[in-house]
Structure 1
Amino acid sequence: MSAVSLPLWRQLQAAARLVHGVRQGRSLTAQLPEVPAGLRPGVQALSFHALRWLGLAEALRGRLTARRPAPRPDALLCTALGLLAADGPDLYAPFTLVDQAVEAAKRDAATRASAPLVNACLRRFLREREALLPSAVQDDPVARWNHPRWWIERLRADHPDTWAEMLAAAQHPAPMVLRVYKQKCPPAQYRQALAAINIEATPVGDSGLVLRRPVHVADLPGFAAGQVSVQSAAAQLAAPLLLRGLDVAAPRILDACAAPGGKTAHLLELSPGARVTALEIDPQRSPRIAENLARLGLQADVRVADAADTAAWWDGGRYDAILLDAPCSASGIVRRHPDVRWLRRPTDIAQLAARQDRLLNALWPLLAPRGRLLYCTCSVFRAEGGERIQAFVAHNSDAAWLPSPGHLWPRLDEGGPGHGDNGGCDDGFFYALLEKRLA
């Protein structure tokens, strides 16, 4: 049975289970493979949408019923409310969505007893929508911005002039962006190949293309032949930044936290003679590096290792360049992963910052004199960006902080967030380029 012919109530059931799972601390990435393949595309779209508007949905639920339902029916109710209350065009006709949400409740033993409550709340929302929405967001920043309160407060402190713009941009799904392998196909020529099959794309950066609408990678011309990869515009900045001004014919490069391998491949594309070591601590994610490199016809020394435990893997040879894409809160990629905002806890940031410091301090001695280390995180929090580098430079006199982009984030403009302004940045990122001074 195709995804199109699947009844909406089945998709709502599955989407509500994913929302319930996120509330229990399970990421969508971990849960989605458990959804039957035929249901997965529709369920992913519904769950992503519901999680983008979960703050508002929970505030509305609090106004529609005096008592919070049990966890499973509450997840279904809030999923439906998020779909009904979101800005923008309706995914489904409101009364159809209500009818199918009630049907979803009736057909699941865990939610059946709450079907009358789901029905009453959703129909009341339709009747009183114009009054309920303003009251829900008036004094509740979580409902207004659809992020946890601690997240909003931290962002406001870190970026006092742009925090609201950043939160607003986070509500828009990120575009699909390609990186064209220029040695195999000029970007302008590849754009023409896309246009020939009615895929509209806009250039971004040196070799990137932003697709007007996402497509399956199997529909991309030359994908299997390695002409193109999927990589965000913000992530495409990494390899050129690291290699800029590096006057070494065959540089020895370390990609310290490499999975899934997009930045590793980009380094090899820009510096064909480079000798690249790609490390990944997660043995389940490491194979993706080799798979991506094989598709592109590139080679690197791929190892499963903790980059900070240098005694376990380093051969003693210094590196001309090190890319440290450090583990972080992923607060900059909530457009692609809306569950992240609900999974993170305030205490995570200090723990991640300590891990980032450990990696910086462990890898710096491995860098050759005049070598470059590019530190980056897909985070918008200063504790994982500028504060880390300021502290590192203050304690390492041989570290020079070179001109770097610093904190980047999507901005809203006429083309939507991530188009045109701020260098076409589609995700939140931090970049700092360090050079090792001579002793």
Structure 2
Amino acid sequence: MSHKEGQGAASRAAAALAIQQVLEQGRSLNQALPQVTRNLAPRDKALCQQLCFGVLRQLPELNFLVSQLLDKPLKNKTSIIQWLMLVGTYQLVSMRVAEHGAVSATVEAAKLLKHKSLAGLVNGVLRNLLRRRDELLAQLAQREDLKHNHPRWLADAISQAYPDQASSIMAANNNQAPLWLRVNQHQTTGDNYRQQLDNAAISYAPDSPLPTAIQLDEAQDVTTLPDFGSGAVSVQDIAAQHAAWLLDAQPGESILDCCAAPGGKTAHILERTPSARVLAIDSDAQRLTRVHENLQRLQLAELDVRVQQGDASQPSTWAPKEPFDRILLDAPCSATGVIRRHPDIKWLRRASDIAELAQLQSQILEALWPHLRVGGTLLYATCSILPQENAEQIKDFCARHPDAIRLATHPDGSVDWQWLPGEHAGDGFYYAKLEKRA
């Protein structure tokens, strides 16, 4: 085995391990990847991530192909080799790779995973796939039920909510999301930063719906962007960037940012309105360290901002006596709008989660409403596309609270703004804005 194949084997073995953690142990890819790629070179890390994303995007189709080549699936102690075969299959049907190299590196990965006795099986399955590829792909094309590559319950929920757009939503979910930047207005302007990108020969889309938003033509390592380290820009999807604009904090106002980690929206509020007084809370102490890191990098930590651990459904344990002028509630949700960035969401969510999440959202809304001053506004946001968590949630809340008046969020004057994945090149997102009347 050449050194290059040995390297390639490590990234394929790592991908199989990460996929196993997601599908067998219910861990997120964000948790699994750093652990399994710890000892890999940057290029191998990138390949491992690409393989994981690809397999999780196309899981039903890949399962079908492998099932045609194996008498029965490998389970228990040998299940890791089942996942490795999906990694191998993905390379041979969806990636432009040298076939011989991909097969031999995947076979070597079986040995790295301490299943030397199954290396021959992996080799046989992948070579058989290459021989029968056209025939198997023709069979796969007949399987309408597998084409969307979503679990049945989620495909049904999307089809029910969006009968005309369901297939385009699911297709968007399986595509790679673009990289959006948010320019830090506290330091520079969109025009200035575009000039810096021009100077660095980094290409971007010519127009943008927000003055501080820039869509790069190609994804890249953000730490290499001009002045990234000193806080000139952050990575934030265009849909999420609308939060701070819609909240529209005014100088000197007291703002509550709920469920604030990792701090993108907190920072954006301060970038737009440096004299606002912001309290950012999140229940996850570990993720709050990310808020502190982001505020430091963006040079916002010296402004009037407090970051504190707190449960949004229990404000009596952390909220000050004075009510807030504005509240941003980026509510815990199914994250069904950001599947293109997190393909593991499709396989980690359960149908039963949705009602539980809707119940939690309702509890949080009820708990926070008394902490908003009369005349103040609450912006409700989720990265979900399911009506139960969005339009229906707000409709029910307003029915219970006659003092909640709905304000326009959409540029056309509508009170509901539901982004669908891929719309305006953004993630799936929802906004509703409520004003508290006497």
Amino acid in the other structure paired with 1:9:
A
1:262 aligned to 2:267? Answer: no
For the Cα contact (< 8 Å) 1:50–1:80, is it kept in 2?
A: no
1:409 aligned to 2:420? Answer: yes
1:85 aligned to 2:93? Answer: yes
Gapped regions of structure 1 (runs ≥ 5): 412-421
Q: Describe the superposition over 1:153-192 as per-residue Cα deviations: whole angstroms up to 9, x where unpaired.
A: 1111111111100111111111111100124222122112
For the Cα contact (< 8 Å) 1:54–1:79, is it kept in 2?
A: no
1:379 aligned to 2:384? Answer: yes
Q: Describe the superposition over 1:370-391 as per-residue Cα deviations: whole angstroms up to 9, x where unpaired.
A: 2111111111111211111111
For the Cα contact (< 8 Å) 2:376–2:436, is it kept in 1?
A: yes
1:137 is displaced (CA, Å) by 4.4
Secondary structure of residue in 1 paired with 2:218: coil
Identical positions, percent: 40
1:356 is displaced (CA, Å) by 0.8
CA distance in 1, matches of 2:96, 2:378: 45
1:429 aligned to 2:415? Answer: no
CA distance in 2, matches of 1:224, 1:113: 48
Amino acid in the other structure paired with 1:219:
T
1:40 is displaced (CA, Å) by 2.6
1:233 aligned to 2:234? Answer: no
In the other structure, the counterpart of 2:204 is 201
In the other structure, the counterpart of 1:415 is none
For the Cα contact (< 8 Å) 1:257–1:326, is it kept in 2?
A: yes
CA distance in 1, matches of 2:233, 2:188: 9
In the other structure, the counterpart of 1:129 is 133
For the Cα contact (< 8 Å) 1:54–1:82, is it kept in 2?
A: no
User: TM-score w.r.t. structure 1 length?
Assistant: 0.91
Secondary structure of residue in 2 paired with 1:201: coil
In the other structure, the counterpart of 2:174 is 171
1:291 is displaced (CA, Å) by 1.6
CA distance in 2, matches of 1:266, 1:4: 44
Q: In structure 2, do the counterparts of structure 1 residues 403 and 137 end up closer, same or farther at CA, with 3 Å as the change threshold?
A: farther
For the Cα contact (< 8 Å) 2:16–2:87, is it kept in 1?
A: yes
1:74 aligned to 2:101? Answer: no
Q: In structure 2, do the counterparts of structure 1 residues 135 and 5 end up closer, same or farther at CA, with 3 Å as the change threshold?
A: closer
Q: In structure 2, do the counterparts of structure 1 residues 437 and 138 end up closer, same or farther at CA, with 3 Å as the change threshold?
A: farther
Q: Name which of 119, 122, 146 aligns with 1:115.
A: 119
In the other structure, the counterpart of 2:99 is 94
1:34-49 superposed matches below 5 A = 34=35, 35-37=37-39, 38=41, 39-49=44-54
1:331 aligned to 2:336? Answer: yes
In the other structure, the counterpart of 2:363 is 358
CA distance in 2, matches of 1:6, 1:188: 46
CA distance in 1, matches of 2:98, 2:287: 40
CA distance in 1, matches of 2:153, 2:141: 17
For the Cα contact (< 8 Å) 1:56–1:82, is it kept in 2?
A: no
Secondary structure of residue in 2 paired with 1:253: strand
In the other structure, the counterpart of 2:108 is 103
Q: Describe the superposition over 1:219-276 as per-residue Cα deviations: whole angstroms up to 9, x where unpaired.
A: 1111222211111111100000111xx6x54211100110111101111111122111
In the other structure, the counterpart of 2:29 is 28
CA distance in 1, matches of 2:251, 2:38: 50
Secondary structure of residue in 2 paired with 1:427: coil
CA distance in 2, matches of 1:368, 1:134: 62
Amino acid in the other structure paired with 2:240:
A
Q: Describe the superposition over 1:330-379 as per-residue Cα deviations: whole angstroms up to 9, x where unpaired.
A: 11111111111111111111111111111111111111112111111111
1:290 is displaced (CA, Å) by 1.6
User: TM-score w.r.t. structure 2 length?
Assistant: 0.91
CA distance in 2, matches of 1:106, 1:313: 53
Report how many residues are paired.
417
CA distance in 1, matches of 2:185, 2:195: 14
Gapped regions of structure 2 (runs ≥ 5): 411-416
Amino acid in the other structure paired with 2:346:
R
For the Cα contact (< 8 Å) 2:186–2:274, is it kept in 1?
A: no
For the Cα contact (< 8 Å) 2:6–2:105, is it kept in 1?
A: no
Q: Name which of 144, 158, 164 aligns with 1:155.
A: 158
Amino acid in the other structure paired with 2:65:
L
CA distance in 1, matches of 2:284, 2:141: 41
Amino acid in the other structure paired with 1:290:
H
Secondary structure of residue in 1 paired with 2:130: helix
Q: Describe the superposition over 1:397-420 as per-residue Cα deviations: whole angstroms up to 9, x where unpaired.
A: 111122224211233xxxxxxxxx
Amino acid in the other structure paired with 2:190:
P
Amino acid in the other structure paired with 1:430:
Y
Q: In structure 2, do the counterparts of structure 1 residues 398 and 137 end up closer, same or farther at CA, with 3 Å as the change threshold?
A: farther
Amino acid in the other structure paired with 1:192:
Q
1:5 is displaced (CA, Å) by 8.7
1:19 aligned to 2:13? Answer: no
CA distance in 2, matches of 1:259, 1:107: 37
Amino acid in the other structure paired with 1:407:
Q
**Could you say what the CA RMSD is over the residues aligned between the two structures, in angstroms?**
1.8
CA distance in 2, matches of 1:152, 1:252: 41
For the Cα contact (< 8 Å) 2:278–2:306, is it kept in 1?
A: yes
Q: Describe the superposition over 1:128-154 as per-residue Cα deviations: whole angstroms up to 9, x where unpaired.
A: 22221232242352x311211111111
Secondary structure of residue in 2 paired with 1:259: coil
Secondary structure of residue in 2 paired with 1:16: helix
Secondary structure of residue in 1 paired with 2:68: helix
Q: Name which of 286, 290, 293 aligns with 2:292.
A: 290
Secondary structure of residue in 2 paired with 1:332: coil
CA distance in 1, matches of 2:96, 2:6: 15
Amino acid in the other structure paired with 1:208:
A
Secondary structure of residue in 2 paired with 1:49: helix
